[in-house]
Structure 1
Amino acid sequence: MIQRIVTELGPWAWWVLGIVLLILEVLMPGVFLVWIGIAAIITGALSLLLWDAAFWTWHAQWLVFAALSLVAVLIGRRIVKTRGQTSDQPHLNQRGQSLVGRTATLEQPITEGRGRIRLDDTMWSVQGPDLPVGARVRVTASNGRDLTVEAV
């Protein structure tokens, strides 16, 4: 069956496979099929050049496609991994970290190291030195649930 498809379509079978894989990547993005699609297109380009060569059987084409797919995936992973991922909002999903450096007024006194402040529309539990209600504090750290503060 594979031999018949390759024989009927000729070197264009690889181009069709490559384009189908690239379309699938657009429909189901995951940055994986794109590399295999590129390998299929390269195999198709080689097939255009080597189609009449005696050694260029469908077995050899599949081996070349498999090797190119492996190489393309490895190169693609390296490209995606090393691509700079800087953000203009590095604390976007780390709300507590985004509050570090802000100042607030204590809503509840800090006694035995624990108190509460209001920042924007949220009440936060804080840790720090004992301070009375109304004292100004600066957020110095966040451990996810609680904020650490110091007197201003």
Structure 2
Amino acid sequence: MNWLSQQAGFIWLILAALLAITELMVPGVYLTFVALGAAATGVLALLFPELGMIGQLISFAAWSTVAVLLGKRWYNTNPIPSSDPDLNNRAARMIGQSVTVVEPISGGSGRVRVGDGEWPAEGPDLAAGEKARVVEVRGGVVVVEAVKAIGSA
């Protein structure tokens, strides 16, 4: 056995520590799980020195994959609370917004102004300039409903 194969377990554990430190400095979540794979491989390399480099690489790949899948499952079942859960979901943020019809909605389709942009729209027949409310966004098309004018029944 050469020096490198004798120290392989410690090298894997050092790699795990470096990955964990990198995760702390540059948060990205997934390096934590790869660090767990490296740590598990390091422990196995210490317990079974005859594992060899190929066995260690297979172990690292397997443990990292298992750790990532378990971590993803955990994050999906335990979401991190947010004060704005729709922050990066532009379509969800549009629901409920008041919009202005810029091209008449006729036969179920037209265009509306949402914020500073125009979107294709579906909904009841509405003339240009009328107000509508977004009720859904379906594949890049804004679905609207008419907004009743103040004082109308």
Task: Flag structure 1 segments of 5+ consecutive residues without an equivalent.
Answer: 48-55
* 1:16 counterpart SS class: helix
Which aligned pairs between 1:3-152 and structure 2 lie closer than 5 A? Answer: 3-5=1-3, 12-23=7-18, 26=22, 30-31=30-31, 33-43=34-44, 58-59=49-50, 69=60, 70=62, 73-83=65-75, 84-86=78-80, 88=82, 89-152=84-147
Residue 75 of structure 1: how far off its partner (Å):
4.5
Cα 1:37/1:150, change in 2 over 3 Å: same
Aligned residue-pair number: 137
Tell me the alpha carbon deviations over residues 121-145 of structure 1, each in whole angstroms, 9 at most, x when there is no partner. 1012211111222322111111122
State the identity as a percent.
24
Q: Which amino acid is 1:81 matched to?
A: R
Q: Which amino acid is 2:113 matched to?
A: R
Cα 1:129/1:4, change in 2 over 3 Å: same
* 1:105 counterpart SS class: strand
Contact 1:18 1:36 in 2 (8 A): no
Cα 1:131/1:71, change in 2 over 3 Å: closer
Task: Flag structure 2 segments of 5+ consecutive residues without an equivalent.
Answer: 148-153
TM-score by length of 2: 0.64
Cα 1:18/1:136, change in 2 over 3 Å: same
Residue 151 of structure 1: how far off its partner (Å):
0.8
Contact 1:105 1:118 in 2 (8 A): yes
Q: Which has the larger radius of gyration?
A: 1
Residue 102 of structure 1: how far off its partner (Å):
0.9
* 1:132 counterpart SS class: coil
Residue 61 of structure 1: how far off its partner (Å):
8.0
Cα 1:59/1:99, change in 2 over 3 Å: same
Residue 21 of structure 1: how far off its partner (Å):
4.9
The corresponding residue for 1:50 is none
Aligned equivalents of 2:68, 2:125: Cα separation in 1: 54
Residue 117 of structure 1: how far off its partner (Å):
1.6
